Amino acid sequence: KVINTTTVQVHPPDGYRIFRNGEYKEVQYSFKEVFNIGGTQKHVFDVVAKPLVDDLIHGKNGLLFTYGVTGSGKTYTMTGSPGDGGLLPRCLDMIFNSIGSLQAKRYVFKLDDKNGVEVQCDVDALLERQKREVFQTPKTPSSKRQIDPEIADMINVQNNCKAEEVDEDNVYSVFVSYIEIYNNYIYDLLDEGPFDPIKPKLPQSKILREDQNHNMYVAGCTEVEVKSTEEAFEVFWRGQKKRRIANTQLNRESSRSHSVFLIKLAQAPLDASGDNVLQDRELITFSQLSLVDLAGSERTNRTKAEGNRLREAGNINQSLMTLRTCIEALRENQTYGTNKMVPYRDSKLTHLFKNYFDGEGKVRMIVCVNPKAEDYDESLQVLRFAELTQEVEVARPAEKPVCGLIPGRRFKNQAFREELSRQLEIRGGPIDGDRERSITEVLLQNFPPMSSCELLDIHDDQTLPRLIEVLEKRHRIRQMLSEEFSKNVHSVKGMLQELDSSIVSKENYAQVKMAERDKFIAAQKTEIERLEKKAKTLEYKIEILEKTTTIYEEEKRNLQQELESKSQKLQRQVSDKRRLEARLQGMVTETTMKWEKECERRVAAKQLEMQNKLWVKDEKLKQLKAIVTEPKGSKPERPSREKDREKPLQRSLSPPPVPNAPPVRIRHRRSRSAGERWVDHKPPSNVQTETVMQPHVPHSITVAAANEKALAKCDKYMLTHQELASDGEIETKLIKVKWASNQAGRQAREFPKCVRKRRSSPSSRSPAEEGTESEWTDVETRCSVAVEMKAGSHLGPGYQHHAQPKRRKP
pLDDT per residue as tens digits for the range 570-617? 999 999 999 999 999 999 999 999 999 999 999 999 999 999 899 999
pLDDT for 558: 93
The conformation of residue 732, written as its DSSP 8-state character, comes to E
Looking at 664-776, which runs of residues are DSSP E strands? 678-681, 700-703, 716-724, 730-741, 747-759
Is residue 21 located within the same domain as residue 93? no
Is residue 90 located within the same domain as residue 18? no
Is residue 48 located within the same domain as residue 20? no
Q: Is residue 253 part of a domain?
A: yes
Is residue 9 located within the same domain as residue 142? no
Q: Is residue 756 part of a domain?
A: yes
| CA pair distance 448, 41, nearest whole angstrom | 81
Region of poorest pLDDT, from 207-221, 414-428, 501-515: 414-428
Higher pLDDT among residues 308 and 258, named by residue: 258
Residue 361, phi then psi, degrees to nearest 5: -170, -175
Is residue 10 located within the same domain as residue 97? no
Is residue 28 located within the same domain as residue 72? no
With b meaning 16 or more CB within 10 Å and e meaning fewer, what string describes 361-384?
bbbebbbbbbeeeebeebbeebbe
How confident is residue 762, by pLDDT bands cut at 50, 70 and 90?
very low
Q: Is residue 585 part of a domain?
A: no
Domain stop point among 389, 424, 447:
389
pLDDT for 191: 86
pLDDT at 434 over 60: no
Average pLDDT of span 401-426: 69
Higher pLDDT among residues 320 and 803, named by residue: 320
Q: What is the span of the domain harbouring residue 303?
A: 42-389
**Cross-strand partners of 218:** 208
How confident is residue 503, by pLDDT bands cut at 50, 70 and 90?
confident
The answer to whether 257 touches 182, Cβ cutoff 8 Å, is yes
Report in angstroms the alpha-carbon separations of 512 from 199, 249, 508, 517, 519: 71, 66, 6, 8, 10
pLDDT at 556 over 90: yes
| CA pair distance 225, 129, nearest whole angstrom | 12
With b meaning 16 or more CB within 10 Å and e meaning fewer, what string describes 430-446?
eeeeeeeeeeeeeeeee
Average pLDDT of span 523-552: 92
pLDDT at 780 over 50: no
Q: For position 332, which CATH number holds?
A: 3.40.850.10
Q: What angle do CA 611, 642, 640 make, to 5 degrees?
A: 85
pLDDT for 71: 84
Region of poorest pLDDT, from 247-256, 329-338, 494-503, 573-582: 247-256
H helices within 427-462, ranges in order?
Answer: 433-446
Q: Is residue 100 part of a domain?
A: yes
Find the helix or strand (DSSP H, E) in which 179 lies. Answer: strand 170-182
User: Under 8 Å CB-to-CB from 12, ≥6 apart: which residues?
Assistant: 18, 24, 25, 26, 376
479-487 long-range contacts (CB < 8 A, ≥24 apart) are: 481/443
pLDDT at 809 over 50: no
Is residue 277 located within the same domain as residue 231? yes
Average pLDDT of span 634-638: 50
Is residue 210 helix, strand or coil? strand
pLDDT for 793: 36
pLDDT at 781 over 50: no
pLDDT at 27 over 80: yes
The conformation of residue 22, written as its DSSP 8-state character, comes to -
pLDDT at 376 over 70: yes
Q: Is residue 189 part of a domain?
A: yes
pTM for this predicted structure: 0.53
Q: Which of 386, 550, 327, 545 is nearest to 32 (CA)?
A: 386
Q: For position 772, which CATH number holds?
A: 2.60.40.4330
Is residue 54 located within the same domain as residue 178? yes
The answer to whether 157 touches 82, Cβ cutoff 8 Å, is no
pLDDT for 555: 93
Is residue 123 located within the same domain as residue 15? no
Domain stop point among 363, 389, 415:
389
Report in angstroms the alpha-carbon separations of 597 from 305, 312, 590, 604: 81, 88, 11, 11
Binding residues for ATP: 68-75
Average pLDDT of span 736-746: 59
Q: Is residue 246 part of a domain?
A: yes
For 105-120, how does the pLDDT look when each residue is reduced to its tens digit (9 = 90+)?
A: 888 999 888 888 989 8
pLDDT for 795: 39
Is residue 267 located within the same domain as residue 127? yes
Binding residues: 68-75
Domain stop point among 389, 411, 434:
389
The answer to whether 492 touches 420, Cβ cutoff 8 Å, is no
How confident is residue 370, by pLDDT bands cut at 50, 70 and 90?
confident
Q: Which of 501, 119, 61, 161 is nearest to 283 (CA)?
A: 119
- Our count of domains for the chain comes to 3
pLDDT for 17: 58
Q: Is residue 140 part of a domain?
A: yes
Is residue 805 located within the same domain as residue 668? yes
The answer to whether 56 touches 289, Cβ cutoff 8 Å, is yes
pLDDT for 94: 93
The string of DSSP letters for 113-147 reads TTS-EEE--HHHHHHHHHHHHHHS-----TTTSPP
For 311-369, how does the pLDDT look when each residue is reduced to its tens digit (9 = 90+)?
A: 777 778 788 888 889 988 888 888 888 888 999 999 998 999 998 888 788 889 999 99
How confident is residue 692, by pLDDT bands cut at 50, 70 and 90?
low
Average pLDDT of span 690-714: 77
Is residue 350 located within the same domain as residue 273? yes
pLDDT for 24: 63
Average pLDDT of span 503-513: 84
- % pLDDT > 90, the chain: 27
pLDDT at 280 over 70: yes
On average, the pLDDT of the chain sits at 76
Please count the residues of the chain. 810
Q: Is residue 314 part of a domain?
A: yes
| CA pair distance 558, 550, nearest whole angstrom | 12
